[in-house]
Amino acid sequence: MDGQERGAAPLAGRRILDLSRVLAGPWATMVLADLGADVIKVENPRGGDDTRHWGPPYTGGESAYYLCANRNKRSIAIDLASADGQRIVRELAARADVLVENYKQGGLARFGLDYESLAILNPRLVYCSISGYGRASPLADRAGYDYVVQAEAGLMAVTGPVDGEPMKVGVAVADLFTGMAAAQAILAALIAADRDGQGQHLDMALYDCQLAMLANVGSAALVSGREPRRWGNGHPTIVPYQLFDTSDGQVVIAVGNDGQFAALCNRLLDRPDLCADERFATNRARVQHRDDLLAELVPLIAAQSTDWWLGGLQAIGVPSGKVRGVREALDAAETLARGMVETVAHPTAGSVDLVASPLKLSRTPVRPAAAPPLHGADADAILGELGYGISSIAELRGSGAIG
């Protein structure tokens, strides 16, 4: 802690009303929950968040998919189609700093729970809408699915084998990009609300976020006017920067500059002629003569073991790594040293292991992880905070307004 006194998590005292489900919205609100906010997850009484049923695997009746995006929250099941349910959400929104939703266009307006309606009750409310294509879009009425957005926003076109078909990424990155971007936008809007005393409507789209995360590939397409191609495990503008076969496995070698390439040739390959060759002396030249260079490197690297290469490359300062399986990565010493896997108590599973928050703050750390809530588990407590008594809560449950 370097002598610093530990303070409360940064968002302690903030209230987040989470009407979202599946991944992008819940990921954003989990980030806010980790940072200390009280996140109330509003689910439908008939099964709750879709991801509760996306399995196997399950533990204690809960899916691993649901567990990945809902730690540090409380859950209440509310029927938004009922007048009582709508009233409860309005009461919660009147006390909230933030509302997050990912309903279809107009879905909440028919319940009187749209931004314009709730801003009258709470002018400071930050209301974040997450959708596939944005509320102000010719495709606003289309549902947003990560796989489709990866296809339509260019990511699949540049992912996969050079001569193979386009491939999606192994996790739902368009959703995750959007969740992280939404969390950033919400934090910025909270700062603005503290300064100006007014909330605002945030319009976050999976499509926009995926386009933005094309990064250098998108920029290259705009600058060159050409369609980027797939490079498999290679890199479009850095060489050598790819996966190589060794005598007993595979190794990633990521030569980031000309000095590293010279060290590779002179100190490990014993081939000073390669870095002296004008075709390979600079990264620009190596990109232009990629095939010629790889014809030299591939058999050299295949002659030694993965461990030989990892040890040698690390010794000379050339970035490298082996391809780990997910379990191997989660069990690695550096994973444990960083506290990136947490074991938390769970009401039905006994305990569950969760991937932890990556946010590391020295003075105001994220809150300790709490297990994702069971469906509707916190209804009595949440309604009690609104002033509902035991008999009123029983009536709401009997009418089906809450689960």
Active site residues: 175
Do 58 and 104 form a contact (C-beta atoms < 8 A)?
A: no
Residue 128 pairs with which residues in a beta bridge? Answer: 100, 202
